[in-house]
Amino acid sequence: MDFSKLSDYLNRLPREGVPGCEMVVWKDHREVFRHTAGEAKGGETYWLYSVTKVLTMTVTMQLIEKGMLRLSDPVAAYLPAFSHLTVQDGETVRPAKTMLTLEHLMAMQGGLDYDLAAPAIRRKIRESGGDAGTVEMVNCFAEKPLLFDPGQGFKYSLCHDVVGAIVEVIAGKPLSTVAKENVLDPLGIRTLTFHPDAEQLAKLAPQYTVNADMKTVPIANCRDSLASMPHYDSGGSGLMGDAEGYILLADALANNGVGKNGNRILTGASIDDMRRNRQHGASWTDWVKVKHKRGYGYGLGVRTLMDAAASRSPIGEFGWDGATGAWAMMDPDNHIGAFYVQHVLNMNRAYYEFHPAIRDLLYESLA
């Protein structure tokens, strides 16, 4: 294995506007590569945003394995506020024609959006003084008309926050507690959390954004208006953590659900179910508009490679990314887990350029 090209590429990223980055790769439960560049020295924590979704999907698949949930379950069975959904149909609002299910949510086919400033959300935050819990907040999502009938499109949205609320209803505990007890603790992960303490915050890497002039500028460390609420566990974007912790999750998912310490969190069959493409018809038409996922389909909360010509990774390689540029990849066929992290909002190049490049350089290094 020769990782020199990958290291050289990461070392160039600070000149491309990425102040600091870190990448770690494990194969067969063993670290084979770790590199930091720029400001990153290792050990920093980051707001991880949407790579949270991989953890939320893992917790949900555990409940499905236990027979406590089914993909076909109606959302309204757990969250009655979703019993009478409506759809925005041109200039009119009408009742939804199809029932919203758990699978629709997990596959981003629920018809929700990512409007954190929606009137119902703002009202609930105001009424609760910012102290509303997960289920209470998620219930207000049902007040806004859906963009399409459930199952009739793909829209990246707050669907996984709703999944997190369902987990809480089923388990009778906060999502953060369920994740800790059933995934993080069994894998020996101590550095991923929905609610960081002072020590973890002290290690937080500086956060940046790309401004209107396409310059990378520092910003005050922030989270979205929901994830920052003390009693709200955002299944879509709530995690803070470091590369040291996340790679343990990626490693387990790349090794048929078994962690380095031998503890199993999922069966291989469940992981295969997660990474099976769920987009067809209208939802496929919507999905392929996501141009930076060329060659991929979308399963249960994860991209999944379908076109071997689009990547040096194998068919079925899967994972997701986050708003500041974090990227997680799992390859169960070769037992490879990889995690890359940076801390820059609004940097579209991360998705179109950096992530595909580090993926392909990784596989070139392993050849």
pLDDT in tens, 58-71: 999 999 999 999 99
pLDDT along the chain (367 residues), means of 10: 97 97 98 98 96 98 98 98 97 98 98 95 94 96 98 98 98 98 98 95 95 91 79 96 98 98 98 98 96 94 97 97 97 98 97 98 95
Give residue 220's pLDDT.
81
Give residue 210's pLDDT.
95
Neighbours of 226 (CB within 10 A): 23
Q: Which of 200, 265, 270, 266 shows the shortest CA–CA distance to 239?
A: 200
| Average per-residue pLDDT for the chain | 96
Give residue 183's pLDDT.
98
Give residue 221's pLDDT.
67
pLDDT digits (tens, 9 = 90+) for 227-260: 889 999 999 999 999 999 999 999 999 999 999 9
CA distance 64 to 301: 15
Eight-state DSSP code of residue 205: P
Amino acid at 245: G
Q: Give how far Cα 91 sits from Cα of 87, 94, 341, Å.
A: 11, 10, 42
Q: Six-digit token pair at 349?
A: 């190049």
Report domain extents, the chain.
4-65+174-366, 75-171
Q: Which residues of 311-333 are buried (b: 16+ CB within 10 A; e: fewer)?
A: bebeebbbbbbbbbbbbbbbbbe
Q: Please give the model's pTM, rounded to 2 decimal places.
A: 0.97
Give residue 324's pLDDT.
96
The answer to whether residues 157 and 60 touch, using CB atoms and an 8 Å cutoff, is no
Q: How is domain 4-65+174-366 classified at the architecture level of CATH?
A: 3-Layer(aba) Sandwich (3.40)
